[in-house]
Structure formats: structure tokens, C-alpha cells
A and B are shown apart, each in its own frame.
Chain A
């Protein structure tokens, strides 16, 4: 099944709205409840879904759009996450024969694996940018607790996004081609 371009626009708009909701939860509600030390980076999870499940030439532009919205809530900016997202997407393309998101546990494992690639990429770029690799371990470590929680959330969020993008779980290992 090939969804129409208009359908893709609608799905993307809903995904952006979902990201804004998650960003507000992460940036305001959780800190107000006392959760200040670690962040749940939902933008990473949403981009991982697009990178792993969608087979579309427009995914890089979607990643850029999502990261621009993310940059409203973070001084990280759009560029770091966009580069990491594209690297994750290319990695997923090479590993597509091995990716089986058939069970919740496998989804968690695969998401954790790609999150590690994401965070290592971001950490390397930050260290290069500030010319200080002594903080590399510290930056990567700061991602770990939040990433484990995100991996636990991943099956639920992938199911939700699967419905938004109309990618059923039995439509192939890498989803449908748009």
C-alpha cells in the first residue's frame, strides 16, 4: 500500500503535534514534578521510528522538520539531531535485513541500539565543537538513564506512530514504502 502524499502530510503534522506535546511534558511537567536531572528525549524516539519503519525519500526532510521543532525547546539546535538522525537512518538501511520489530522486547533492544549510535554521534560532534574530548564519557553517560526509559516506552510509541502513519506491524520488517 502506498499512502498518498496528502496522507503523508497529515501524518507528519500529527507527529509534529505529538512531538510538541512530548517536549512540553519533558521540559515543563516532569521538571515541575521534580524530575530535573535526566530528560526523556522523545524527539529521538520519533525520529528512530521514521528512520527504521518508513521507506521514503522524504524521511531526511522530516527529520530536519522534527529537529527544528525540537530546537524551540532546547538550545541543542536542529543540526546535531538531524545529522545523528541521518546517520541512524543510513545504519538502519544497511541493517534492514536484521531488523525484526515483531515483539516488544526486540523493539526495545533495537531502539536502545540505535539510541547508542545517536548519542555517540551527538557526543562526538559536541566534543569536536568544543574541542574537549575529556567530557565524552560524561556526555554519553548522561544519556543512558533516559535512553533506557525511552526504550521501555518504545513499543507503545511505535504502536501509536504506526497507527498515525498507517504502518501495520505485519507490513514487513521496515514498514511500507511511501
Chain B
């Protein structure tokens, strides 16, 4: 009886301690920015290569599957020939993938020409494992120059910003996330509003007054205020406008211009380095001149 009481007391004490730790953690949590702990950094660096390998193996697996289907249908008479054909087709598929990837990367690089001279090309290796957060993991981190709050784009438009970064990986809070708010303007009318993530890979445009002449089909671009996103990046298109019986603002549905279903590579725009101070500029050549 005494043992049971002691066990029960221990359980209550443990519950209280862990609950206090959890409440403290919640109070310290920031859903807009995160500084990873040393533990998080180490474990992320250890586990993310597995994620990266699995994400990369997707193409090989689909190519293998296609080859398997081809080989199953070959007759015995021309099996050697068919295998050669399947091998060639596999090569062609791979070449086609490389060509498409090359095209995508070229588009990405040419698209960002006018935005920032410093940019990092990164591959998406994973998504957040929780339902309520729309975050993607990239295979580049602080070792590649990525900093938190760096904007992330594709040739289609805005993806989000870097939420947290470890030496070789970084997490991006996408515009689909409810905690990410993007200051935008309607391209045609120059009306300001805030885009927030909602469900089903869609966003909503908030704080647009009822008398604003916005229409379905209007395109949204970043306003360039707030200090995170550069001005003029495509964000999405208005697909539905509802005037409620109450309130001063419109209820507007937005479809992002980026196809998040097919998101594979992104560009991280790095902040332009401030010009070095006079002292450091003058010291640099002296150091290099020494043998």
C-alpha cells in the first residue's frame, strides 16, 4: 500500500515537473523564428542526410519501376534486344530528367538575376512532420552562407523565408504556413494586403477594404516592406472574393503562384553584405601582400 502511494507521488511529481518544462517551452517558443539548440543541430546534421538520400532516390526508384514494367512485357525471343532498349530508355529517361532539371535551374538562376547577387541553389529534402506547420527542409545551411530570415523563391514566385538553419540544412517557413505573413500589393490596383496561409495549399488575403476594386484573377506581388522579402516577387493569384455581411474587409482566397506539390529546387536569396569598414578594407591588402 505504502509502495503504491510512493509510486503515485512520484508520478504526480514527474507530471508536474514535465508539465512545467512544457509550459516554459511553450512560453519561449516563437513560431516565426527559431534558434536551433546544439542538440537539434547535431541530430539534424546526422539524420538529414538520410532524408536527402531518400529524396534523391525518388527519381531512381521511379526509373527502376518503369524499367521493370518494360522488361516484364518482353518476349523470350528478343529479350536481349528488349533489355538493350529498356536500358537505352532508362538512359533517355535519366537524360530527360537531367535536361528538365537543367532547364529548371537555368530558369531559376535567370529569374533571380535582378533580385540579389548572392544566392544559393538548394534542394528540398523534406517537409515538416506536423500537420499544423507547412515547413520545408533544404539541403543547404549556414556553411553555404544561408542566414535566418533569408527569402526563398523559385522562378514561379515566393516560397517563404528561412526559419532556422544548421550548418548544412535549413528549414523554410513557407507562405502556406499560418504563421507566415507576407505584405503584398495587387499588381493591377496597387492595393495593399497581407497574405496568410490557410488549408489545402491555399492562402488568404487579409485587410483589403470592401471598396477596393480587386477582382478574381488579379495577381499579387510582394510589397517589399517588412525587411524580409524583396519587392516585386510573384506571390499568387486571387481565386475567390467574398463580401461578408459584417466587417470592413473582404474575404479573399489566394492560390500561390508556386506549385508546392512539385517543388524540388529553390533559390535562397542572401542579404547583400554591407560594405566593409574603411579600416578592414585598408588592412586586407597588407595581409595578402605578405609572403
B137 beta carbon closer than 8 Å to chain A: yes
A57, chain B: closest CB distance, angstroms: 4
A53 beta carbon closer than 8 Å to chain B: no
In the bound complex, CA of A75 to CA of B122 (Å): 19
In the bound complex, CA of A73 to CA of B130 (Å): 8
In the bound complex, CA of A60 to CA of B11 (Å): 8
Residues of B within 8 A of A60 (CB): 11, 14-15, 17-19
Asked whether, in the complex, the Cβ of B130 is within 8 Å of the Cβ of A24, the reply is no
Residues of B within 8 A of A142 (CB): 131-132, 199
Q: Which residue of chain A has the shortest Cβ distance to B262 in the bound complex? A: A34
| Stretch of B44-52, B74-82, B235-243 that contacts chain A | B44-52
In the bound complex, CA of A23 to CA of B135 (Å): 14
- 0/1 string, A98-139, CB within 8 A of B gives 1: 000000000000000000000000110110011000010011
Residues of B within 8 A of A86 (CB): 15, 18-19, 22
Asked whether, in the complex, the Cβ of B130 is within 8 Å of the Cβ of A125, the reply is no
Asked whether, in the complex, the Cβ of A122 is within 8 Å of the Cβ of B54, the reply is no
Partner of A75, one of B39, B51, B163, B201: B163
Interface bin, chain B: 35 or more
B192 beta carbon closer than 8 Å to chain A: no
B112 beta carbon closer than 8 Å to chain A: no
Asked whether, in the complex, the Cβ of A82 is within 8 Å of the Cβ of B22, the reply is yes
A39 beta carbon closer than 8 Å to chain B: yes
Give the most central of A32, A57, A80, A141: most B CB within 10 Å. A32
In the bound complex, CA of A178 to CA of B229 (Å): 53
B43 beta carbon closer than 8 Å to chain A: yes
Residues of chain B in range 57-87 having any CB-CB distance to chain A below 8 Å: 58
Asked whether, in the complex, the Cβ of B22 is within 8 Å of the Cβ of A83, the reply is yes
In the bound complex, CA of A76 to CA of B164 (Å): 12
Q: Which residue of chain A has the shortest Cβ distance to B196 in the bound complex? A: A135
A70 beta carbon closer than 8 Å to chain B: yes
B290 beta carbon closer than 8 Å to chain A: no
Given contacts A23-B129, A135-B178, A143-B131, contact A83 B19 (CB under 8 A): yes
| Stretch of B23-31, B94-102, B144-152, B267-275 that contacts chain A | B23-31
B40 beta carbon closer than 8 Å to chain A: yes
Asked whether, in the complex, the Cβ of B47 is within 8 Å of the Cβ of A72, the reply is yes
Partner of A72, one of B14, B43, B179, B261: B43
Asked whether, in the complex, the Cβ of A24 is within 8 Å of the Cβ of B29, the reply is no
Give the most central of B24, B130, B198: most A CB within 10 Å. B130
Asked whether, in the complex, the Cβ of B40 is within 8 Å of the Cβ of A24, the reply is no
In the bound complex, CA of A143 to CA of B133 (Å): 11
Asked whether, in the complex, the Cβ of B54 is within 8 Å of the Cβ of A29, the reply is yes
In the bound complex, CA of A70 to CA of B19 (Å): 17
Residues of B within 8 A of A169 (CB): none
Partner of B31, one of A57, A130, A139: A130
Residues of chain A in range 39-68 having any CB-CB distance to chain B below 8 Å: 39, 41, 43, 56-61, 63-64, 68
A172 beta carbon closer than 8 Å to chain B: no
Closest 8 CB pairs of A and B: A79-B25, A60-B18, A82-B22, A83-B22, A57-B10, A57-B11, A74-B130, A76-B130
Give 28 CB contacts A-B under 8 Å: A27-B127, A28-B126, A32-B58, A36-B260, A36-B261, A37-B201, A39-B129, A41-B131, A57-B14, A60-B14, A60-B19, A70-B129, A74-B130, A75-B31, A75-B133, A76-B133, A77-B25, A79-B21, A79-B23, A80-B22, A82-B18, A82-B21, A83-B19, A86-B18, A89-B15, A122-B132, A129-B31, A139-B132
Binding site for B on A (CB under 8 A): 20, 23-24, 26-29, 31-34, 36-39, 41, 43, 56-61, 63-64, 68-80, 82-83, 86, 89-90, 122-123, 125-126, 129-130, 135, 138-139, 141-143, 146, 177
Extra contacts, 18 of them, besides A28-B54, A72-B47 (Cβ < 8 A), are A24-B54, A27-B126, A27-B129, A31-B126, A36-B127, A36-B261, A39-B130, A43-B129, A57-B7, A73-B128, A75-B34, A77-B29, A79-B26, A82-B18, A129-B29, A130-B179, A142-B132, A142-B199
Binding site for A on B (CB under 8 A): 7, 10-11, 14-15, 17-19, 21-26, 28-29, 31, 34, 39-40, 43-44, 47, 50-51, 54-55, 58, 125-133, 135, 137, 163-164, 171, 173, 178-179, 198-201, 260-261
